Amino acid sequence: MIHRILQKSLEEQLFKGKTILLTGARQTGKTHLVKTIVEKFKGAYYNCEIQEVKDLLESTSITTLSRLVPVSKLVVFDEAQDIDDIGKKLKILHDEIDGLQIIATGSSSFDLLNKASEPLTGRSREYFLYPLSMQEIMDNAGMVYTKGKIIDLLIFGSYPEVYNTESVDEKIETLTNISNNYLYKDTLKYEDIKKPLVFKKLLTILALQVGSEVSLNKLSNEVNVSIQTVEKYLDILEKNFIIFSLMSFSRNIAKEISKSRKYYFYDLGIRNSIINNFNQISLRQDAGQLWENFCILERKKFNHYSTLHKNLYFWRTYDQQEIDLIEEYGGRLYGFEFKYNADKAKFPKIFSDTYQGSTFKLINQKNVFDLLD
């Protein structure tokens, strides 16, 4: 298995008086990561989806709860959102047992963070695990190997189980299983989604429109529900780590688009599974969309694991001048354009004139590792 960058950050925070809340989509490797830490520090691991574990955690008695804590005082509750009143129980353990280190994981920010964050106010640190990153693959296998894997990542994504599967048919089967059993069922199970067919149709539309500006009014008409319902479903998809959005960047210049969003997927394999298209890049019309999603996602991963707290946007004017990604950091603006095949891209003059001191870089197949600078 590939070593995860986040492991070092988690281990550095152990036994410093904070409960660790680890979120991320299902199948991104949270369980393997926490089991690795448990084995290293001789802790205790509990899978909260198992009924026997749920039974053990029914009580709020400190006497009962303390029996779950090993001598090492490291305890992991995996998929902790499945436990009733989990926030209250974590708070009791945190407050009553000196030196205890808790790690609680969850696949939905709705569930784990909403249920645990408030009771643990001031007592927790939150971390997020992405699917495998290009940096992690490169650290494990080197730059040449990683460069050769990028097309595979564009088609099948980077969920660890999919990545470690050699057969194309097995990759597709695994992705289909993740989509059907986790993406749809989990989301529909945990959230108040009264129209699952509408939800699936909305997700398909987003998959086909990756990198395009999204009109809530148009989406509402296409799926035949209210704008409020569309907004609710988009929020659910984001909080369950299926999609993420970029807002438009504007300082109120008349020509700039100021109120718009673009949506991208946390994993391209899931995106391609939704539209049932696993064709090779040479046979696809959406190679540019895949490349844009891949580059923005890898940039998000890099910034996240490097603890660089940047604001991310896209930029466009009404006369169709655009920049795929704007990073706002340290009082400066950094523009990126993502082109799968092109060797040149023009920095829009209106942007460079308006935001003096900003920089611009084209990312293509040749310099893709510049995303990690």
CATH code of the domain in which 207 resides:
1.10.10.10
Across 132-141, 186-195, 273-282, 300-309, least confident range: 186-195
Predicted pLDDT at 200 = 86
Tell me, yes or no, whether 140 and 44 share the same domain: no
The identity of residue 252, as a single letter, is: N
CA-wise closest residue to 222 among 236, 202, 206, 208: 202
Whether 165 has a pLDDT exceeding 90, the answer reads: yes
CA separation for the pair 284, 213 (Å, rounded):
21
Tell me, yes or no, whether 239 and 150 share the same domain: yes
Tell me, yes or no, whether 312 and 181 share the same domain: yes
- Burial grade of 140 (CB within 10 A; 0-12, 13-18, 19 or more): middle
C-alpha Rg value of the chain to the nearest Å: 22
Tell me, yes or no, whether 260 and 309 share the same domain: yes
Q: Which residues pair with 23 in a beta bridge?
A: 106, 128
Tell me, yes or no, whether 77 and 143 share the same domain: no
Which helix (H) or strand (E) segment is 6 a member of?
Answer: helix 5-12
86, 103, 128 - which closes a domain: 128
SS3 of residue 260 by DSSP: coil
Residue 108 tokens, joined:
């939905």
Tell me, yes or no, whether 81 and 162 share the same domain: no
Which helix (H) or strand (E) segment is 101 a member of?
Answer: strand 101-106
Tell me, yes or no, whether 194 and 53 share the same domain: no
CA-wise closest residue to 241 among 155, 315, 335, 304: 304
Tell me, yes or no, whether 268 and 352 share the same domain: yes
What's the CATH code of the domain at 14?
A: 3.40.50.300
Q: Categorize the per-residue pLDDT at 114 as very low, low, confident or very high, splitting at 50, 70 and 90.
A: low
The CA–CA distances, whole Å, from 338 to 78, 359, 365 equal 37, 14, 9
Number of domain units in the chain: 2
Whether 244 has a pLDDT exceeding 90, the answer reads: yes
CA separation for the pair 335, 351 (Å, rounded):
10
Tell me, yes or no, whether 221 and 288 share the same domain: yes
pLDDT tens for 19-57 read 999 999 888 999 999 999 999 999 999 999 999 999 999
Tell me, yes or no, whether 146 and 270 share the same domain: yes
The residue segments making up the domain with residue 81 are 5-128
The identity of residue 289, as a single letter, is: Q
SS3 of residue 22 by DSSP: strand
Q: Reduce the secondary structure of 128-175 to three states and give it as a string.
A: ECCCCCHHHHHHHHCHHHHHHHHHHHHHHCCCHHHHCCCCHHHHHHHH
Tell me, yes or no, whether 142 and 99 share the same domain: no
Q: Yes or no: say if 301 and 327 are a contact pair by the CB < 8 Å rule.
A: no
91, 112, 128 - which closes a domain: 128
pLDDT tens for 69-110 read 999 999 999 998 888 888 889 999 999 999 999 999 988 655
The CA–CA distances, whole Å, from 208 to 55, 204, 232, 261, 356 equal 44, 6, 20, 15, 35
95, 128, 161 - which closes a domain: 128
Q: Yes or no: say if 241 and 25 are a contact pair by the CB < 8 Å rule.
A: yes
Tell me, yes or no, whether 170 and 282 share the same domain: yes
Q: Categorize the per-residue pLDDT at 197 as very low, low, confident or very high, splitting at 50, 70 and 90.
A: confident
Whether 196 has a pLDDT exceeding 80, the answer reads: no
What does pTM read for this prediction? 0.92
